[in-house]
Amino acid sequence: MLVHITDADEIVRHGEEAFLDERSALLFRAAKSIVIDLSSAADRVSDEFTSAHPEVPWSAIHRMRSVLAHHYDDIQRPVVWDTLVVDLPAVRDALLTSIE
């Protein structure tokens, strides 16, 4: 899961303006794919681990995947951007804390 968050960091390095630019879909599509892949990775985490680490927002990860995979016409770029810059760093911190 951490590798997916690191990939998301690459997108963030391009900046918010580039991400929100409607003329370019590349960063937006890449971000959606990364979040979906992250959720798929979370699905492979054992129930024992997820139960032992409630600080990781497992349900939120799965909900965002559902939105991105099934409601793609309604997805707003600023929501995905916030996921990249707010939510994924929090997930990273929780994961790193849980494996220490």
Q: Mean of the per-residue pLDDT values for the chain? A: 91
Note the pLDDT of residue 70. 86
Give the residue with greater pLDDT, 85 vs 98: 85
Considering only the C-alpha atoms of the chain, give the largest distance between any 2 of them, rounded to a whole number of Å.
44
**Helix H or strand E segment including 20:** helix 16-20
- If 0-12 CB within 10 Å is exposed, 13-18 middle and 19+ buried, where does residue 84 land? buried
**pLDDT at 100 > cutoff 80:** no
What value does the mean pLDDT take over residues 73-82? Answer: 89
pTM over 0.75: yes
Q: Which band of pLDDT confidence, cut at 50, 70 and 90, is reported for residue 13? A: very high
